[in-house]
Amino acid sequence: MALKVVVTRRIHTEAVERLRQLFDVVEWESDLPPARAELLDMLNGAAGVLTLLTDRIDGDLLDRVPTLRVVSNLAVGYDNIDVPAATQRGVAVCTTPNVLTRTTAEFTIALLFAVARQIVPGALAARQGDWKTWYPMRFLGRDLLGATIGVVGLGRIGEEVASLAGALGMRVIYTDDRITSQRFQRVALEDLLRESDIVTLHVPLLDSTRGLISDNQLAVMKPDAILLNTARGPVVDTDALLRALERGHLSGVGLDVTDPEPLPADHPLYRFERVTIVPHIASATHATRGKMSALAVENLIAALTGGEPPNCLNPEVLHRG
């Protein structure tokens, strides 16, 4: 009898078909995530699961699904998975890094242009009939050439953003205690916030990074600075950001991720024209999402057939006797 594998959302058909050739596949047929009870019901008897960031995999769930051997997350991040709990129970946890690095970095720069050049307010004005003439003093943005961009987190994506920003003629500084770069200047976080015209966030969501940007950090930033977050929503304290915007601080904010996520349609952040919010789409290209799906499937297949998954966070569990 074939092993049971669960896919918790609709993903690329080709990737699912690869799984069907080897396993008994149960796929959640919705663009919305399964509720906890629905996820547990699907996972009954499953050996593997392909998850998204919206699927919380913790010790309680793993105890309820003792047959589970691998969790393959369709993402670089894994803050939805309790990795120590999985390791303790002999469950492999896999992710999909590298394949979305350039795509996410390009999107970060696109979001920067959208915020810096008032593209979204201008497009809305045109669509809503509020374009009456050529305006010499409306939709004024800022030039990026010569601006200082501060990259918080110089991992794969952060470094790619830094490279693109440098190619556009921006001065690049960064903060990351783990990485020493020969190309860019490392500074302390407070110095980065004080000096930067643009601050862009590229850190994983950890206890140490939750609320990393809050009241004190926002107050240090230049009054006309731009803040970008394409990392994880809780890295920014939403209430603190609201307070800063209400007092006129910051000239622009670009958020691909929010806290909470999704952000309710009546959330006060939407009141601010200088805030651009998009629904977590930094990796959303046909090619990249296809590569992510393929890699997540490859991780699953390898872990369940005695191979070496390309990206496993706790490979030691695969070799336990």
> What length is written for the chain?
321
pLDDT confidence of residue 121: 95
pLDDT confidence of residue 1: 76
Question: Do 301 and 263 sit in the same domain of this protein?
Answer: no
Model pLDDT for residues 95-124, shown as the tens digit of each residue = 999 999 999 999 999 999 999 999 999 999
**pLDDT band (50, 70, 90) for residue 321:** low
- The CATH number of the domain where 313 resides is what? 3.40.50.720
pLDDT confidence of residue 31: 87
Question: Do 88 and 70 sit in the same domain of this protein?
Answer: yes
The DSSP bridge partners found for residue 71 are 49, 93
List the Cα angle 184/188/189 in 5-degree steps.
105
Question: Do 94 and 110 sit in the same domain of this protein?
Answer: no
Question: Do 128 and 83 sit in the same domain of this protein?
Answer: no
Assigned token pair, 231: 């990392």
Span 7-26, mean pLDDT? 95
**pLDDT band (50, 70, 90) for residue 25:** very high
Question: Do 243 and 313 sit in the same domain of this protein?
Answer: no
Burial class (CB in 10 A: 0-12, 13-18, 19+), 265: exposed
261 classed as catalytic: yes
Cα distances (angstroms) measured from residue 80 to each of 57, 77, 85, 99, 318: 6, 8, 12, 20, 21
CA–CA separation, 169 and 43 (whole Å): 51
280 classed as catalytic: yes
Model pLDDT for residues 182-195, shown as the tens digit of each residue = 999 999 999 999 99
C-alpha count within 13 angstroms, C-beta hemisphere, residue 285 = 13
232 classed as catalytic: yes
Model pLDDT for residues 64-99, shown as the tens digit of each residue = 999 999 999 999 999 999 999 999 999 999 999 999
Model pLDDT for residues 239-292, shown as the tens digit of each residue = 999 999 999 999 999 999 999 999 999 999 999 999 999 999 999 999 999 999
User: Which of the 8 DSSP states describes residue 150?
Assistant: E
pLDDT confidence of residue 156: 95
Mean pLDDT of all residues belonging to the chain: 96
Whether residue 118 contacts residue 112, with contact meaning beta carbons closer than 8 Å, is answered with no
Q: With residue 64 as reference, give the H or E element that holds it.
A: helix 59-64
Taking CB atoms within 8 Å and a gap of at least 24, the contacts of 70-75 are 70/94, 70/299, 70/300, 70/303, 70/304, 70/309, 72/48, 72/296, 72/297, 72/299, 72/300, 72/303, 72/309, 73/296, 74/9, 74/11, 74/50, 74/292, 74/293, 74/296, 75/292
What separation, in Å, do the N-terminal and C-terminal C-alpha atoms of the chain show?
A: 23
Question: Do 89 and 111 sit in the same domain of this protein?
Answer: no
Question: Do 262 and 295 sit in the same domain of this protein?
Answer: no
C-alpha count within 13 angstroms, C-beta hemisphere, residue 148 = 19
Which of 18, 232, 289, 298 is an active site residue? Answer: 232
The beta-strand segments (E) located in 178-273 are: 185-186, 198-201, 226-229, 252-255
Determine what percent of the chain is predicted with pLDDT higher than 70: 100
Looking at the 3D structure of the chain, how many domains does it have?
Answer: 2
Span 24-29, mean pLDDT? 96
Question: Do 219 and 292 sit in the same domain of this protein?
Answer: no
Question: Do 34 and 129 sit in the same domain of this protein?
Answer: no
Question: Do 130 and 265 sit in the same domain of this protein?
Answer: yes
pLDDT confidence of residue 218: 98
Assigned token pair, 116: 């810096």
Which of 261, 286, 308, 316 is an active site residue? Answer: 261
pLDDT confidence of residue 180: 93
> DSSP of 8-37, one letter per residue?
-S---HHHHHHHHTTSEEEE--SSSPPPHH
Which of 117, 210, 243, 280 is an active site residue? Answer: 280
Q: Is 280 left (phi over 0), alpha (psi -120 to 50) or beta?
A: left
The separation between CA 16 and the C-alpha centre of its own chain, rounded to angstroms, equals 23
In a 3-state reduction of DSSP, which class is residue 106?
helix
Question: Do 24 and 46 sit in the same domain of this protein?
Answer: yes
Question: Do 146 and 80 sit in the same domain of this protein?
Answer: no
What residues make up the domain containing 80?
Answer: 4-99+286-319
